[in-house]
Amino acid sequence: MEHYDDILDNLDWNGLKLLLAVVETGSFRKAAQTLDVAVNMLRRRIEKLEQQFGHAILIRDHGGIRVTPFGAELLKASAEMVEAAKPVGRLLRRRDRQILGSVSLSVTEGLGTFWLIPRMIDFQRAHPHISLDLRCAMGLADVFNMEVDVGVQIEYPNAPDLVVTKLGTLHMMLFASEEYVRVYGEPRSISEILNYRFVEQVSGQVNSSMLDEMFPNVPQDFVAVRTNTSTSHAYANSRGAGIGVLPTYARAITKRVRPVCPDFRFSRSIWMTYNRNALLSERVVATLDWLRKSFDSKRYPWFSESFIAPEVFERQFSNAASLHLFDGFRDE
């Protein structure tokens, strides 16, 4: 015979709350509408309770539902349980009120603007009393002296005594707009790149000598546009100003661009860094957890250690249920 403690451990406690809702509304259908759940799910949960207790709880007939004598006892105990749990709820609400204030986060402009801002809605709903001070810039903030609470950057921090965590990998490829390819064609190999025009970004954390390293002996007119921000660089690329280097997740943001010369690619690590003292703040801890989830490679495969071609993860995210990840940015 199952031990009493084992029954309590396995008891569907939330099912008791559903039971209360069914009885209060007088029917499974009305309870389902009130709770915005499926009727069959409610029936299964009540049946599970009946199996666990070994007694009928509700009797269904043409007149609706009737509560059995055992069910009446269970309802009384369940109502007392809900009432007894209210002080715990008040403690949780008090804790939520305490996780308030501002968290300053420095992040590279592209990752901040195109990636983290769309993720911020979920963070706001989970932590409505935290204000994020998001500083999207390519310069490095002084995390060591707590100029900001948290830094997300592609340059490894060299300040001592900082906590450094690798969030993911930023894989880069050459991209061009459909319009540019239609007018000028596309390079099929790295050696052909110099026959096209290039959109270059030069800013903090983006080495000014990167172009020479990528393409030695470039013609004088090779660069069509040179910008100092990720947003202007990406916009110029998507509007057909030339070929440029973008992260592979660019295809998850806009369909205006597509990879060209797929043999050319490189990667940069994405680092999260913070002062150990920041862990004393629950709001910072909540922000760190959100950042880890935002770059989770299991959910967002383009941040994984291994290179994944855009067409591969596009197939994975082609269903309508995944479109909410990119609301506000996708172009069809």
Taking the chain (332 residues) in consecutive chunks of 10 residues, what is each chunk's mean pLDDT?
56 81 86 84 87 85 81 85 74 59 91 90 89 89 85 87 92 93 90 90 78 79 90 91 92 85 90 88 92 92 91 69 43 44
Strand pairing report for 243-247 and 162-177: antiparallel
Quick count: other Cβ atoms within 10 Å of Cβ 121? 12
Dist CA 314 CA 323 (whole Å): 11
Are the C-beta atoms of 300 and 308 separated by less than 8 Å?
Answer: no
Q: Which uninterrupted H or E stretch holds 87?
A: helix 69-98
Burial of 137 (0-12, 13-18, 19+ CB in 10 A): middle
N residues, the chain = 332
- What pLDDT was estimated at residue 198? 92
Radius of gyration of the chain (CA): 28
- What pLDDT was estimated at residue 299? 87
Dist CA 258 CA 173 (whole Å): 10
The whole model's pTM is what? 0.65
Question: Tokens 């709880």 — which residue?
Answer: 57
**Angle at 93 (CA atoms; ends 91, 99), nearest 5 degrees:** 105
Dist CA 234 CA 325 (whole Å): 19
SS3 134: strand
Are the C-beta atoms of 30 and 60 separated by less than 8 Å?
Answer: no
